[in-house]
Structure 1
């Protein structure tokens, strides 16, 4: 009798996210138990998508540190024209692809790639960008500068940032629209202003 293979705990879907609005409202999607993975909570997500109520339909969205896919999948459910999910972990990216396959004809793609490497590629402008990087790695300042300088943002793009307390250095033409805090998490919505 063959011995059962040990299960890689880092690649087991033990959690879930819930889509809270739109086409797939109430749908639950599995999430891996992976180190550093922190899906955006429903309360924060509801606040964010209230902020984006008039911006998300038909928007081209980039979920740069996709993780659970909570923000990207919510954007799809609410009518985004396209969502690009970027995730460094191969196991987490595989789970994202499986979840995407369960959403009929969802206009999205998953890139298993480091966010900074992804931003070195050929840019396409996005209307909405979600930035929820791993905490304590000081990635935001570099990522924000690359987004602005590299042609990744539409003229009046909205940029959502979820972060720990330490504030990143942001491009001067990003205007703060909304700012909230929940426990140790700060979250903001910015709008890119066109520099003439």
Structure 2
């Protein structure tokens, strides 16, 4: 796993092999951030990373200048890896919340400019994520939600759906607030 752009470009982090995750590929990350470059100034964003896993996507946000980021991950081994990686990067402006994502969405009082969710592709409640975010008011006006998912899932009929981008087996559905 490596950071593809920004301050930490080229830094490589190797998550422990006992973390059974599917980190976003470099190709998919590059495509995602090429899209985002057209919409946002990273230095002005308040970002929420749901299902943070290894922190792969958050490191890209941090590397590009995001100074306010919240990462939500339930797995204690993943949280420990994230904490260790942030220490190596000497980054302190990140809140890590170890909890269930759906509980977090229901209880969070904050609003975010950009919300990224990379749930397990087999998650049975994946279709609920954008609706819950909007219903609970987590997205600021004109904000973006990006959900990474497999090809069998479609959000095209969901309210506030904006566009979908396919990169191989990876799909990003984007919603606008």
Q: Same fold (TM over 0.5)?
A: yes
Q: Which runs of 5+ in 1 are unaligned?
A: 1-16
**Superposition deviation, residue 73 in structure 1:** 1.0
**Superposition deviation, residue 169 in structure 1:** 7.9
- After superposition, residues 66-85 of structure 1 pair within 5 angstroms as 66-85=52-71
**Superposition deviation, residue 49 in structure 1:** 0.8
Name the CA shift for 1:169/1:149 in 2 (closer, same or farther; >3 Å). Answer: farther
Q: Distance in 1 between matches of 2:161 and 2:98?
A: 30
**Superposition deviation, residue 122 in structure 1:** 3.1
Name the CA shift for 1:70/1:181 in 2 (closer, same or farther; >3 Å). Answer: same
Select 2:117's aligned residue among 100, 124, 131.
131
For the 8 Å contact 1:87–1:114, the answer to whether it is kept is yes
Runs ≥4 in structure 1, deviation > 6 angstroms?
A: none
Name the CA shift for 1:34/1:169 in 2 (closer, same or farther; >3 Å). Answer: farther
Task: Verify: 1:44 aligned to 2:31, yes or no.
Answer: no
Task: Verify: 1:167 aligned to 2:151, yes or no.
Answer: no
Aligned residue in 2 for 1:188: 173
Q: Distance in 1 between matches of 2:24 and 2:18?
A: 15
Task: Verify: 1:148 aligned to 2:134, yes or no.
Answer: yes
Q: Distance in 1 between matches of 2:142 and 2:90?
A: 30
**Superposition deviation, residue 30 in structure 1:** 2.5
In terms of fraction of residues, the more helix-rich structure is 2
For the 8 Å contact 2:161–2:173, the answer to whether it is kept is no
In terms of fraction of residues, the more strand-rich structure is 1
Output the TM-score relative to the length of structure 2: 0.89
Aligned residue in 2 for 1:11: none
**Superposition deviation, residue 188 in structure 1:** 2.5
Q: Distance in 2 between matches of 1:142 and 1:189?
A: 14
2:69 is paired with a residue whose SS is: strand
Greater Rg, structure 1 or structure 2? 1
